[in-house]
Amino acid sequence: MRQAGGKDDAPVREAGGEAARGEVAAGRRRTYAELLRWDTALGVLLVAVLLAGAGGTEGFAETTNLSAALNDTAEIALIALPMTLLVVAGQVDLSVASMLGLSSALAGSLWDAGWAFELIVPVCLLVGLAGGLLNGWLVTRVGLPALAVTIGTLTLYRGLASVVLGNKAVADFPETYAQWASYTKTVPGTFVPYPIALFAVLAVGAAVVLHRTRYGRAMFAIGAQEQAAWFAGVRVNRIKLVLFALTGLTAAFAGIVHTLRYGSARADNGIGLELVVIASVLLGGVDFNGGKGTLGGAVAGVLLIGVLNNLLTLNDVSNEIQVVVTGVLLIVSVLTPRVIAVAGERRQRRTAAT
Amino acid sequence: MRPHPRTRVRTRTRARTTARARTLAATAVGCALTLALAGCSGTTKDDAKDDAGSAKEGARNAKADPDAPLKEGLKLAFLPKQINNPYEKIVDEAGIEAAGEYGGQAKEVGPSDAKASSQVSYINTLVQQRQDAILIAANDPNAVCGPLKQAMKRDIKVVAYDSDTHKDCRQLFINQASSEDIGRSLIQHTAKQLGHKGEIAILSATQNATNQNAWIEFMKDELEKPAYEDMKLVKTAYGDDDDQKSFQETQGLLKAYPKLKAVISPTTVGIAAAARYIGGSSYKGKVVLNGLGTPNQMRKYVKNGTVEQFSLWDPEKLGYLASYAAASLSSGQITGREGERFTAGELGERTVGKDGEVILGPPTVFDAKNIDDFDF
């Protein structure tokens, strides 16, 4: 795990004797760093892709296409929010797609049994909360690493989904709710479908929590140096537990959205989605080791993957190439900050030598 | 672990916390009750009205003109279950070639995973590209419904082939062979090979595959008949149309059921993987393998005695028929109503059956005698 505060303090300290010059250099470097911040770059890239699409691809800028493309990212976008907070705190949850499937399967089997949809939703959300709490409990109380725990629950929740619904597929969900999740019905006056509108509201909430409250600062502290955070009085375990619970809850909600959107409840819904979520978050510049990243970056990551896939599909680029594009972007996103850091260190060493 | 710096504070406020917890619990119970009450008057399965079909009705009001010529320059898109499936590739390529015969343009697009959700984003982009017709092998009969209805509303014709969607979400379904024929004949052939005796297992594709599940239902139904009382279906395994997984599932089946006499795999990926395992093991020649496969994949195993026979319809003809059917729809020769007729190139005249189904014909049985007559 990364040492706390390693990024900015070290160069200044090493500059030592030539304090004045060192500070000027550090100041200039910080400006570069601001300019080269990955999430800003990603936002610019997103806008560029949107403009290029609007200019060069027929049908891309039409509202129906944008609504459909946005709505296709609904579940990924929703789950990416708590996932960003988790990764910032140095944790990860790989069981989200399985929880999505479990929630979908449960919704299907209860609906089939004649339950009211208004009752099914809270039941599914409670199951999501319980699943999240189980992950959190295993990590915080039993002390297992998040990766190991959630690989286990990834299999467990998917298995439970199969137990609940078997190989059945339940369809014919109520039209009013299906409409809510569909891309054809948008927030009046815009091309934004309701699940995405909800995501936007939640994203603002999550950004405020992460970047403007002491809870957010605590998450960064835990991700940077858990021990130090603990000694500083941060309730490490409680925050982790809450984050896992929130993630489970959101995944279960995404399961409902998925079920309504596709009008089909199945145990295998959303298989493999956890990797797309995590890829989006990492693409957004959130450090997998924790302690670094912004919510805006993660949102840009989600949107960029969604928009790129839509644009490439419209241009008949095969699915294999799309996967390669996403893969390359991901590697670049992980590599770039590292390269900048190494280059900075070299320049620093040269300055110190003269 | 050492006590947390905040523990002291916590003990002091324990009393208050307990009180708060109690209030919380009470609120939770209250909420649950409200929800339960709301639930009683909520939306249940019985209330959900099925507005399906309205999109199709609109399209159907159009009159068929059997004499209309096939339009030039039609844009067709094949959307298979997944693009790297060799069987689907054969179907789609034949369909694309057929489009050349009547001056149309066809292409194949699709996901690399056999997921319905991946197909949905493809349907949306095809609508956006203003194709004249979408031909789809559905990964889930319902999940692709919404966008297909949108497509039909925008006057894009929808033809399902190989694996059907819900019948309200497409105008035609090109059925490779009736599901009943396939299911029952697989059991009949296998039974003959076994002398109507012994344990059998099925190695299928994914748990939710529409076509495989329909065939398996008919297989089970056939097995109910008294002629098969000495045969027992011990397990249906799922290889997910993945070569590796199908191989391992076959291995698992033969280990778990030592008395197993036959494996039936109604999927081309499954039967090839099963043949590879059985052909390289001591079960070769002792365990019967039957199912649906392509001659090119299975030739080796028929010649070396691992497999005696298997069956399949001609996938090239399926793609060819689907392509012509889509062109006839887009040109207004047919609308998808029962009894309408159209000409499918060299396959001759075809009639639309009940629920918009067009059946290709009975499956062909391949064995050592005829396998070299086929190349696909």
Residue A72: pLDDT band (50, 70, 90) is: very high
Q: How many CB atoms lie within 10 A of CB B181?
A: 19
Q: Looking at the predicted structure, is the pLDDT value of residue A255 above 80?
A: yes
Q: Looking at the predicted structure, is the pLDDT value of residue B37 above 70?
A: no
Q: Is residue A351 part of a domain?
A: no
- Distance from C-alpha of B356 to C-alpha of B349, rounded to nearest angstrom: 16
Could you write out the DSSP letters of every residue in A170-204? E----HHHHHHHSTTSBSTTSS-BHHHHHHHHHHH
Model confidence, pTM: 0.78
Would the CB atoms of A59 and B129 count as touching at under 8 Å?
yes
Query: Could you report the per-residue pLDDT of B204-234, keeping only the tens digit for each?
Result: 998 878 889 999 999 999 999 999 999 999 9
Query: Could you report the per-residue pLDDT of A313-326, keeping only the tens digit for each?
Result: 999 998 889 889 98
Q: What are phi and psi of A170, to 5 degrees?
A: -100, 135
Query: Could you report the per-residue pLDDT of B114-162, keeping only the tens digit for each?
Result: 888 889 989 999 999 999 999 999 998 889 998 999 999 999 999 999 9
For residue A267, count CB atoms less than 10 angstroms from its CB and return exposed for 0-12, middle for 13-18, buried for 19 or more. Answer: buried
Nearest residue of B to residue A170, measured between CA atoms: B142
Q: Which residues of B touch A165 (CB under 8 A)?
A: none
What pLDDT is stored for residue A210 in this prediction? Answer: 97
Q: Where are the domains of chain B?
A: 54-176+315-361, 179-312
Q: Is residue A25 part of a domain?
A: no
**Prediction ipTM score:** 0.75
Are B107 and B96 in contact by the 8 Å Cβ rule? The answer is yes
What pLDDT is stored for residue B30 in this prediction? Answer: 58
Residues sharing a CB contact under 8 Å with residue A216, sequence separation 6 or more, in sequence order: A209, A210
What's the gap in Å between the CA of B113 and the closest CA on chain A?
Answer: 9
- Distance from C-alpha of A192 to C-alpha of A213, rounded to nearest angstrom: 29
CATH number reported for the structural domain that contains residue A112 in this entry: 1.10.3470
What pLDDT is stored for residue A171 in this prediction? Answer: 86
Tokens found for residue B74: 């039609």
Provide the pairing of β-strand B198-204 with B231-238: parallel
Q: Which helix (H) or strand (E) holds B107?
A: strand B105-108
Nearest residue of B to residue A57, measured between CA atoms: B129
Chain mean pLDDT for chain A:
89
Q: Is residue A141 part of a domain?
A: yes
What's the gap in Å between the CA of B111 and the closest CA on chain A?
Answer: 6
Q: Is residue A191 part of a domain?
A: yes
Q: Looking at the predicted structure, is the pLDDT value of residue B52 above 80?
A: no
- What is B54-176+315-361's CATH number? 3.40.50.2300
For chain B, say whether A233 makes contact (Cβ under 8 Å).
yes
Query: Could you report the per-residue pLDDT of A147-170, keeping only the tens digit for each?
Result: 999 999 999 999 999 999 987 889
Residue A18: pLDDT band (50, 70, 90) is: very low
B52 or B106, which is more confident? B106
What's the gap in Å between the CA of A308 and the closest CA on chain B?
Answer: 12
Interface size, chain A vs chain B, as Cβ–Cβ contacts under 8 Å: 137
What pLDDT is stored for residue B312 in this prediction? Answer: 92
Q: Which of A1-10, A102-111, A164-173 has the highest mean pLDDT?
A: A102-111
Q: What are phi and psi of A17, to 5 degrees?
A: -55, -45
Helices and strands of chain B, counted as H and E runs: 12, 14
For chain B, say whether A122 makes contact (Cβ under 8 Å).
yes
Would the CB atoms of B43 and A117 count as touching at under 8 Å?
yes
> DSSP strand E in chain A: where?
169-170, 265-266
Q: Which residues of B touch A313 (CB under 8 A)?
A: 109, 121-122, 125
- Distance from C-alpha of A1 to C-alpha of A87, rounded to nearest angstrom: 13
Q: Is A268 left (phi over 0), alpha (psi -120 to 50) or beta?
A: alpha
Q: How far is CA B40 from the centre of its chain?
A: 37
For residue A297, count CB atoms less than 10 angstroms from its CB and return exposed for 0-12, middle for 13-18, buried for 19 or more. Answer: buried
Helices (H), A213-294: 214-224, 226-231, 236-262, 273-283
* Beta bridge pairs of residue B158: B134
Q: Which residues of A touch B111 (CB under 8 A)?
A: 319
- Distance from C-alpha of A273 to C-alpha of A299, rounded to nearest angstrom: 16
Query: Could you report the per-residue pLDDT of A242-253, keeping only the tens digit for each?
Result: 999 999 999 999
What's the gap in Å between the CA of A31 and the closest CA on chain B?
Answer: 38
Q: Which residues of B touch A64 (CB under 8 A)?
A: 127-128
Q: Which of A2-11, A73-82, B47-56 has the lowest mean pLDDT?
A: A2-11
Are A315 and A57 in contact by the 8 Å Cβ rule? The answer is yes
B208 vs A68, A169, A173: nearest CB: A169
Residue type, A89: A
Q: Is residue A330 part of a domain?
A: no
Q: Looking at the predicted structure, is the pLDDT value of residue A4 above 50?
A: no
Helices (H), B257-285: 268-279
Nearest residue of A to residue B240, measured between CA atoms: A268
Q: Looking at the predicted structure, is the pLDDT value of residue A30 above 80?
A: no
Q: Is residue A52 part of a domain?
A: yes
A262 vs B44, B113, B143: nearest CB: B143
Give residue for tokens 């708060």.
Answer: B20
Q: Looking at the predicted structure, is the pLDDT value of residue B94 above 80?
A: yes
Are A85 and A209 in contact by the 8 Å Cβ rule? The answer is yes
Provide the pairing of β-strand B288-291 with B364-367: unpaired
B48 vs A174, A316, A319: nearest CB: A174
Q: Looking at the predicted structure, is the pLDDT value of residue A21 above 50?
A: no
Q: Is residue A23 part of a domain?
A: no
What pLDDT is stored for residue B341 in this prediction? Answer: 94
Tally the domains of chain A: 1
The domain in which residue A252 lies consists of 38-317
Q: Which residues of B touch A266 (CB under 8 A)?
A: 140, 143, 208
Give residue for tokens 């590879």.
Answer: B276
What's the gap in Å between the CA of A22 and the closest CA on chain B?
Answer: 38
What's the gap in Å between the CA of A258 and the closest CA on chain B?
Answer: 9
Q: How many CB atoms lie within 10 A of CB B324?
A: 27
Chain mean pLDDT for chain B:
87
A174 vs B47, B115, B206: nearest CB: B47
What pLDDT is stored for residue B137 in this prediction? Answer: 95
For chain B, say whether A309 makes contact (Cβ under 8 Å).
yes
What pLDDT is stored for residue B32 in this prediction? Answer: 58
Q: What share of chain B is helix, strand, coil (3-state, %, to 5)?
A: 45, 15, 35
Would the CB atoms of B49 and A263 count as touching at under 8 Å?
no
Tokens found for residue B329: 């729809």
What's the CATH class of domain B179-312? alpha beta
Are B201 and B166 in contact by the 8 Å Cβ rule? The answer is no
- Which of A111, A120, A141, A167 to probe by mutation at the B interface, max B CB count within 10 Å? A167
Are A298 and A284 in contact by the 8 Å Cβ rule? The answer is yes
Would the CB atoms of B5 and A231 count as touching at under 8 Å?
yes
Greatest Cα pair distance, chain A, in angstroms, is: 79
Q: Which helix (H) or strand (E) holds B188?
A: helix B179-194
